[in-house]
Amino acid sequence: MKKTLTRLADGRELIYYDSRDDTVREAVDHRPLGPVATSSEIRHDALLGDAVAIASHRQSRTYHPPADECPLCPSRDGRLSEIPDSSYEVVVFENRFPSLAGDSGRCEVVCFTSDHDASFADIGEEQAALVLAAWTDRTTDLAALPQVEQVFAFENRGEEIGVTLGHPHGQIYAYPFVTPRTDLMLRSARAHRADTGRNLFDDVVARERAEGTRVVLEGEHWVAFVPYAAHWPYEIHLYPKHRVPDLRTLDDAAREEFPRIYLELLKRFDRIFGDAEPPTPYIAAWHQAPFRAEGRDDFALHLELFTVRRTSGKLKFLAGSESGMSVFINDVPPENAAARLREVASK
């Protein structure tokens, strides 16, 4: 992998990731951009003990542009975009409308491919491996920033999720604190260790593999299953079989197998509701250990993939119980979801 760093016209960092070492990236951003103005502020909720990012500048961010004005496509035919070059493989750049900035963290955009009409499931194993390398490299670099406590790489896909740019892309949030969800996992892991002397994540994965009814796909180095207490109608958790705390510590064998496993899961997601339905909206979220938190070595890197669509033409809305009290009600039994996801395997 070759990594090329450059700057956009307003000073934001942009990084090209290429599979060939002889690739040359010399394009310059000629747009007349002024400096990025952000108003990110972290406020702490005294009752819940969590944090909220206040980012009013995001009200003016780009919203559903036509395909011929997509800011994530390469700069071609006289049209200038966020990516100065006329082609690219994988690109990461600082978000112009970040939720977190400066002492409040950092937000980046990850473009998985230059093909506007593709999806992650379409990009092929070599390209998916390059995306994994980019996620890992960004985790490494962001971990070195003194204000960053945790790195979260994720993809939102589909308007139902709230996506405002149709080009296949994801984001990376570098938080200046440990997120509430991760903190809860760490507390559960510490309690489990104190009670049993064992690792909670290892026990969860061992239980799913032993019972088998919720396992969706298993390779030599990865296992994917619908969790016993799934919150979402169709939800898959993907774990490396050798527990590691974050992307930086994955071994070569797991890296090599990941593209095949992950692309198959994404293809199955698109088949859940049949060919007549539009592509399945989803969120794909990497859970990594915070860099300095107690119990970091007990944490297990994993990816959670889920959709807000509960059946054909119907969405799972977070209503009173979920939004008001954080108690999820799932209409699809996890065993049924796993059976369906096995049923739609690639032939």
pLDDT band of 164, cuts 50, 70, 90: confident
Instruction: Look up the pTM and report it.
Output: 0.95
Residue 342's CB: how many other CB atoms inside 10 A?
Answer: 14
Answer for the pair 89, 130: CB distance below 8 angstroms, yes or no.
Answer: yes
Q: ∠ CA(31), CA(37), CA(38), 5° rounding?
A: 135
What would the mean pLDDT of 108-124 be, rounded to a whole number? Answer: 97
The residues spanned by each domain of the chain are: 2-175, 180-343
The whole-angstrom separation of Cα 106 and Cα 203 is: 34
Confidence label for 34 from pLDDT (cuts 50, 70 and 90): confident
Q: How far is CA 159 from CA 11, 189, 262, 283, 303, in A?
A: 30, 35, 22, 11, 21
pLDDT tens-place string over residues 194-253: 999 999 999 999 999 999 999 999 999 999 999 999 999 999 999 999 999 999 999 999
CA distance 284 to 263: 12
Each residue of 255-283: pLDDT tens digit? 999 999 999 999 999 999 988 788 999 99
pLDDT tens figures, 317-330: 999 999 999 999 99
pLDDT at 35: 84
User: From CA 237, how far away is CA 346, in angstroms rounded?
Assistant: 19
pLDDT in the model for residue 37:
76
Percentage of the chain exceeding pLDDT 70? 98
For residue 222, the SS3 value is strand
Q: Could you tell me the pLDDT band of residue 105, with boundaries at 50, 70 and 90?
A: very high
Q: Does residue 39 register a pLDDT over 90?
A: no
**Annotated binding-site residue numbers for Zn(2+):** 70, 73, 116, 167
CA-CA distance, 26 to 38, in Å (whole number)?
Answer: 28
pLDDT digits (tens, 9 = 90+) for 122-145: 999 999 999 999 999 999 999 999
Torsion angle, alpha carbons of 169, 174, 1, 111, to 10: 10
Does the fold of domain 180-343 match that of domain 2-175?
A: yes
CATH superfamily, with its number, for domain 2-175 = HIT-like (3.30.428.10)
Q: Could you say which DSSP state residue 74 is in? A: B
Residue 287 clears pLDDT 90, i.e. is over it: yes
Question: Whole-angstrom Cα distance, residue 281 to residue 158?
Answer: 5
Say if residue 62's pLDDT is above 70. no
Q: Give the pLDDT mean for 32-54.
A: 88
HSE-CB of 315 using CA atoms within 13 angstroms: 13
Q: How does DSSP classify residue 324?
A: I
CATH superfamily of 180-343: HIT-like (3.30.428.10)
Q: Is 221 a catalytic residue?
A: no
Angstrom CA distances, 90 to 107, 292, 302, stand at 17, 29, 22
List Cβ neighbours of 63 (8 Å cut-off, separation of 6 or more): 164
Residue 13 has pLDDT above 70, yes or no: yes
| Pairing status of strand 282-287 against strand 51-54 | unpaired
* Candidates 44, 169, 221, 231; catalytic one: 169
Q: Which residue positions form the known binding site?
A: 70, 73, 116, 167
Q: How far apart are the first and last CA of the chain?
A: 32
The average confidence (pLDDT) of the chain is: 95
Give pLDDT, residue 113: 98
Q: What Rg do the C-alpha atoms of the chain give, in angstroms?
A: 20
CB contact at 8 A, 228 and 208: yes
